[in-house]
Homo-oligomer: A and B are copies of this chain.
Amino acid sequence: MNKTVDYIDAEFKVRENPEDHRTELRLWLRLLTCSNMIEAEIRKRLREEFDTTLPRFDLMAQLERAPDGMLLGELSRRMMVSNGNLTGLVERLVQEGLVERQVSETDRRAAFVRLTPRGRADFTVMAKQHSEWIGELLGGLNAREQEELWMRLGRLKGSVGAARDRPEPPGKDQPPAAD
C-alpha cells in the first residue's frame, strides 16, 4: 500500500494516514516504561530501607512544607487524591506516630494534619536518601540531556493538558454526541 512512499522520512509521513498513531503509541509506551521503572525502584528502596511506602512519603513531603499543619482538604488537592483515600493514609501515619491530627477550633468539621517531631526527623533522613536515589537513577544523563528532556516533557505536558481540556474534536466518524 504505502510502498511507493517508503523512502519519505518520518517528518513528512506524519498524518499521511490520520488513523495511524503508531509513533505516538510507541512514545507513550516508552514514557510509561521509564516512569514505571523509576517508581518501582523508589517504592522498592523505600520499603527495604525505611519500611515505608511512596504514598506515605509523598504525604510527609507535603506536610514538611507546612510546619503549622494543613487542612485535609488542601492536602487532598495538592496530592491529587480523593478525600476518602487520605482518611486512611493519615490514619496509618497517625498510628505510626509520624503525623498528628487536630480538629480546627473555628470550624469543627475541618482537621489539620501535621508532622510530629519524629515524623519530621524521619522524613529528613528519607528525603535525603530519596534525592540521592533519583540522582543516581537519572545520573546517566548529563546536564544538557536532562535540560533538553525536561523541556521536551514541558511541551508534552502542554499537549496533554490542552487535549484533555479541549471539548473533544468532532472526529470524522462519530456523529456529534450520540446521547
Contact = CB atoms under 8 A, between A and B. Distances in A.
- SS of A interface (majority): helix
Given A14-B142, A143-B14, A160-B37, A153 B31 contact: yes
Interface in A160-179: 160-164, 169, 171
A25 B134 contact: yes
Contacts of A26: 150
A28 to B, nearest CB: 5
Q: What is the oligomeric copy number? A: 2
A6 interface: no
Contact of A136 (B30, B33, B150, B163): B163
Contacts of A34: 31, 35, 153, 156-157, 160
Contacts of A106: none
B143 A156 contact: no
B139 A24 contact: yes
A137 interface: yes
A123 to B, nearest CB: 15
Interface of A: 10-11, 13-15, 19, 21, 23-28, 30-39, 41, 80, 131-132, 134-150, 152-164, 169, 171
8 contacts: A15-B143, A24-B139, A30-B153, A30-B154, A41-B164, A138-B159, A140-B159, A145-B152
